[in-house]
Amino acid sequence: MERDGYLDIFENVGGVVLANACGPCIGQWARHSTDPNRKNSIVTSYNRNFSKRNDGNPNTHASVASPEITTALTIAGSLTFNPLTDYLTNDKGEKFKLQEPLGIEMPQKGFAVEDAGFQAPAEDGSSVEVIVAPTSDRLQLLAPFCSPGRH
């Protein structure tokens, strides 16, 4: 998004663009409020919507919408904005409606992939040893399964 100039566009209208992966699950979104008890709503294009989803606060309620709707709501700054019928006002006081999205599925310059995150398995894994600290509270090795007929 930064490479193609979209990040600045979203940030200039007050949008927050987060990683499209595990961001919500790890509380990536920072709620800007001096009163944590105040009810708050957030609309994202991430999957799943439930209280505490984005920031761990039970007073933050999450809704899921398409990327186009989340963008329109961000530009409008209102959860009641309907891009099909409602108008916005620019800095010159002129009213306008948002144009219908074009539906560009892929970035025109392709995806920037510095690290695909995939490592092919060893062709012969018989010599691969997985080491887990015996004091680990998080990981454990499974005991080998018995072969059929052996107990």
The domain of 37 spans 1-100
- Nearest partner of 64 among 10, 24, 97, judged by Cα: 24
What confidence tier does 63 reach under pLDDT thresholds 50, 70, 90?
A: confident
Which of 14-18, 26-30, 66-70, 107-111 is predicted least confidently? 26-30
**Inside any domain, residue 44:** yes
For the segment 113-136, the average pLDDT, to the nearest whole number, is: 86
What confidence tier does 83 reach under pLDDT thresholds 50, 70, 90?
A: very high
CATH number of the domain residue 96 falls in = 3.30.499.10
Q: Where are the alpha helices (DSSP H) in the chain?
A: 6-12, 67-76
Rounded distance, CA 128 to CA 7, Å? Answer: 42
Main-chain dihedrals φ then ψ at residue 58, nearest 5 degrees: -65, -10
Rounded distance, CA 15 to CA 81, Å? Answer: 15
Count of domains forming the chain = 1
| pLDDT at residue 119, rounded to an integer | 81
Which of 43-47, 69-73, 86-90 is predicted least confidently? 43-47
Residue 60's beta-bridge partner residues? 40
Task: Compute the mean pLDDT over every residue in the chain, rounded to the nearest whole number.
Answer: 82
**Inside any domain, residue 69:** yes
Which tokens go with 105? Answer: 């599925």
**Inside any domain, residue 73:** yes
Q: CB under 8 Å, gap of 24 or more: what pairs does 3-11 form?
A: 3/109, 3/112, 4/107, 4/108, 4/109, 10/71, 10/74
pTM reported for the whole predicted model: 0.60
Rounded distance, CA 107 to CA 58, Å? Answer: 36
**Inside any domain, residue 63:** yes
